[in-house]
Structure 1
Amino acid sequence: MNLEIDIRHQAGMLALDACFTIERPGITALFGPSGSGKTTLINAIAGLIRPDDGTITINGTAVFDRKNSIHLPPRQRRVGYVFQDARLFPHLTVRKNLYFAHRRSPNPLPNGEIDAIIAMLGIGGLLSRRPIKLSGGEKQRVSLGRALLGKPDILLLDEPLSALDQARKDEILPYLEALRDQRRLPILYVSHAIDEVARLADNMVVMENGTVRASGSVFDILARTDLAPLTGQFDTGAVIPATVTGHDTAGGITFLDCAGHQLIVPLLGPATPIAPAPATATRLRQTRLHIRARDVMIATTIPDGISANNIVPVTIRNLQPLDHAGMDVALHLGHLATDTANTQKHAPVIHARITGYSASRLNLQPGQQVYAVIKSVTVDGKLRDTDA
């Protein structure tokens, strides 16, 4: 399943010029400041607006092609759309809202699939209620279910958490994680909240003033310092995958392996289950970490007598001056030899933000082997069971 976008469109003062491809299932975050063209773009994908020029292809089928006069109406595009405000039919029960899209699908889901979606979203106990009796988080879960029961080829989520308070966001985020892990379809997720993106997304498209500034793996995009003005200077850092190796319940900590290096985080809870694994598969418990540059210090020798639990060997990749006499230091995990280019290419990178004075005082240089003292590690999302 894939999505190919190459369109131009003038919407008021916004000149949209977007070109990118989503080649696999999972969540792709469409990220950028307000007015960057995110909603205009997904409205074009859904068929709610007709672009001035270009093409849109979903799963190998052209749903828009200006030169060949193709512009399929929304109903024929097999697109599921979840808006910011849920948009449930107020006069219908949850059950009837869910089945609204199901009845109109040209290839309806079997009953077993419907039951699995309802169970995944935890809305089985809401079926007899009307929308007025639902919380904001419950409404969004029902809206997700209604979109999925239409059996779409792609799911579009337009800032589905922006209208919710933090408690309701925390309620629905695990269901979005389950949707990402259990349903095999591409999801385009519009957001301007970097924490949501770091927790949920597999890939990321960064937009500014109607154009695509960058696209690729969320792990690579969030580590790029040149995008910090768009992705958030304060939260610039790295998102990296990790595997659970053990727990110390008495000490309240969990041990993680990250590219062969141990990290310690507060005790993690139970994993979000996926479909049963084959009998021969090994089940791994995985999560992802968000290590912010502001939470990383650099030491030239292993420090002693400090409270930080995470002190890992690193190799300086490069140093980049920032505004206000600051310095961004990119660090490969591990002490790497300068001639092992292939090893360096695949070693995860974290970032430290220090003063230029500190960089000069420590005489930091590319290729230098030092130590990263990580003051805080954010675990983005719950554990996931995956098959090795």
Structure 2
Amino acid sequence: MSPDTLSVSLRHAFPGFALDAAFDSPIPGTTVLFGPSGCGKSTVLAAVAGLLRPERGRVALGDTVLLDTARGLALPAERRRCGVVFQDSRLFPHLSVEGNLRYGLRRAPRGATGPGFEEVVALLGIGPLLRRRPIGLSGGERQRVALGRALLSRPRLLLMDEPLAALDAARKAEVLPFLERVRQRFGLPILYVTHALDEVDRLADTLVLMGRGTVLASGPVEELSTRPDLPLAARRDAGAVLACTVAGHDQERGLTRLRFPDGEVVVALRDLPLGAALRVRVRARDVSVATSEPRDLSVQNILPATVGEVTPLASGQEATLSLRVGGSTLLARVTRDAVERLGLAPGRPVWALVKSISFDHGAAGGGAPV
């Protein structure tokens, strides 16, 4: 195994459910376990943390083996140096915010390197909260404090189990930028569990797609988002994730140009510096297809493309088109009638049409550096 890999292989049987999951992902980086509720995501995380002893399995973080049942090796949870952030924050109610944070610092192994107290407080914007008790915090504030406590324990692996699932949209929007800051600033390996696609887009370096206790696929989110054989492509919010850089701004017209491999799109003006890296999600339902070059349209993104795969959906009335735009891929959701009427078959040259206002907003979903 590579010293720059998180390697997980687990088997465990529960009444009515069996986990048989394995994946490798590069580190440092954020590996996101994604799938519907009950598919085994949190069980995998618990086994990595040492909170569950699987019947069979191996977990290694680089050269450090945390679990190997074949060798009878299972480090106890407290020796694995995993910082864990749960959905419900689990702060100590009798301690102030500062007390909770310093508890994490006291748990750090002697001599372990990592971020200091002031650095974490500043990064997470929790300085004004230090004297308050958890009961007086909003849900978003509690999660930021829980994240700070985990970071101050100087972990070698950060585990996050649906940390935003209990938050409303406003509080979720509050916390996500702080998660991105942690991802960028500290270079920690992160294993992150979610069933929310916007969190995948904004945080994932590696996506592990799970279903019914197994790993359906794993790899870069840009690649998995456009594979028509995976459940992602059948979702109503299916779409291609493009890794872009900011190529220019037109203040007078209110537009920003984003460049991706072998292509460029125009979006509503974004407050980002030239050269900034970001991801955008181009939803399949927002992509139209023409077999001759359109003219005199309000749509500004008219991209020459070639039809790749044509995948009928379960309803039988719609299909997903895979469209090759140079070295990148877009998805388009069209009716069965459109496929037949326009002769949309693999290899057919077409034009992909995407409105400038169609791109999802948010950091990796279309707005800020990743």
Into which bin does the TM-score normalised by the smaller protein fall? over 0.9
The letter for the 1-side match of 2:246 is: V
Over the aligned positions, Cα root-mean-square deviation in angstroms equals: 1.9
1:312-323 to 2 correspondences below 5 Å: 312-323=303-314
Q: Secondary structure at the match of 2:276?
A: strand
CA separation of 1:232/1:177 partners in 2, compared to 1, >3 Å: closer, same or farther? farther
Q: Which of 157, 174, 186 matches 2:189?
A: 186
1:122-201 maps to which residues of 2 (within 5 A)? Answer: 122-201=125-204
Retained in 2: the 8 A contact 1:107–1:151?
Answer: no
Matched position secondary structure for 2:236: helix
Unaligned ranges ≥5, structure 1? 272-282, 335-346
230-239 or 137-146: which moved more? 230-239
Aligned residues of 2:113 and 2:154 also touching (Cα < 8 A): no
Structure 1 counterpart SS, 2:158: strand
Normalising by the residue count of structure 2, what TM-score does the alignment of the two structures yield? 0.92
Amino acid at match of 2:118: D
Q: Give the counterpart letter for 1:7 in structure 2.
A: L
Counterpart residue identity of residue 256, structure 2:
T
Higher mean C-alpha displacement, 156-165 vs 322-331? 322-331
Say how many residue pairs are matched: 361
Partner of 1:216: 219
How far residue 109 of structure 1 moved from its aligned partner, in angstroms, is 5.8
- From 261, 265, 268, give the equivalent of 1:259: 261
Where 1:243 maps in the other structure, the secondary structure is: strand
Q: How far 1:224 sits from its partner (Å)?
A: 1.4
- 1:26 and 1:105 map into 2 onto residues whose CA distance is 21
2:64 equivalent among 55, 61, 77: 61
Paired position in structure 2 for 1:119 = 122
Question: CA 1:145/1:164 → structure 2, altered by over 3 Å: closer, same or farther?
Answer: same
Aligned-residue sequence identity (percent) comes to 46
Which residue in 2 is equivalent to 1:290?
A: 281
Give the corresponding residue for 1:354: 334
Gaps of 5+ in 2: none
Q: 2:10, 2:235 → 1: CA distance? A: 30
* 1:268 match: secondary structure: coil
Deviation at residue 294 of structure 1 after TM alignment: 0.8
Shift of 1:31: 0.7
Mean Cα deviation higher: 120-129 or 38-47: 120-129
1:89, distance to aligned residue in structure 2 (A):
0.5
Aligned match of 1:344: none
What is the Cα deviation at residue 76 of structure 1?
0.2
Q: Residues 40-99 of structure 1: CA distance to partner in whole angstroms, max 9, x if unpaired?
A: 111111011111112111232221121222111111001010000100011111111111
The structure-2 alpha-carbon separation of the partners of 1:380 and 1:20, relative to structure 1 and needing over 3 Å to count, comes to same
In structure 1, C-alpha distance between the alignment counterparts of 2:180 and 2:114, rounded to whole Å: 23
Residue 262 of structure 1, CA deviation: 2.4
Indicate the larger mover: 9-18 or 85-94.
Answer: 9-18
Q: Distance in 1 between matches of 2:351 and 2:369?
A: 30
- Rate the CA distance shift 1:231–1:189 in 2: closer, same or farther, 3 A: farther
Q: Report whether the alignment pairs 1:236 with 2:268.
A: no
TM-score for both structures, normalised by structure 1: 0.88
Q: Distance in 1 between matches of 2:269 and 2:212?
A: 42
Write the letter of the residue equivalent to 1:50: R
